[in-house]
Amino acid sequence: MPLVWAHAEYVKLARSLRDGRVFDTPPQTVERYQVQKATSSLSAWRFSHTAKHLLQGTSLRVELLAPAVVHWSVDNWKTAADVKTADSGLGHYADLPTNKLPIGRKVAFTLFWPDAGKWEGTNWEVAVVPKNV
């Protein structure tokens, strides 16, 4: 019923203009994000959003459509670790424990696809930046 939906959106817009504020803003959302300033403990990376920055104090979440192993390093590949992805039901993800890294540190990673038995063949880097950026 796209026409009914469009009409309802128009009515909500008209009401918001008349009231001088957004009519249908849930108060719980305002409280959490505008008053309490809640933030996420994760910074996401995915193929459709190859993030170049990671907010300091957050864990890097690598989100994928298929099972993989994330092979990663924080010291320019002098040492490395592997994290298998978990199935969320909507895709696969791996959380890298990057929340204690200092500003300026770079997280490098690549992917191994166990079902195909091959490496992605690309390395990505994500730099830790201050939260206020």
Question: Using one digit for the tens of pLDDT, what is the confidence trace for 55-67?
Answer: 999 999 999 999 9
Rounded-to-integer distance, Cα 125 and Cα 50, Å? 9
- pLDDT of 3 higher than 80: no
More reliable by pLDDT, 115 or 1: 115
Strands (E), the chain: 42-46, 53-55, 59-64, 69-73, 81-84, 86-87, 92-96, 106-113, 118-119, 124-129
Percent of the chain with pLDDT over 90: 81
pLDDT at 122: 97
pLDDT at 1: 63
- Over residues 57-80, mean pLDDT: 98
- Residue 132: pLDDT band (50, 70, 90) is confident
pTM beyond 0.75, yes or no: yes
Residues 6+ apart with CB under 8 A from 26: none
Percent of the chain with pLDDT over 70: 98
For residues 112 and 120, the answer to whether their CB atoms sit within 8 Å is yes
More reliable by pLDDT, 80 or 2: 80
- Over residues 14-18, mean pLDDT: 94
**Domains of the chain and any CATH numbers:** 2-35 (no CATH), 42-129 (2.60.40)
pLDDT at 131: 84
Buried b (16+ CB within 10 A) or exposed e, 29-57: eeeeeeeeeeeeebbebeeeeebeebbbb
Rounded-to-integer distance, Cα 33 and Cα 71, Å? 34
Residues 6+ apart with CB under 8 A from 104: 127, 128
For residues 42 and 54, the answer to whether their CB atoms sit within 8 Å is no
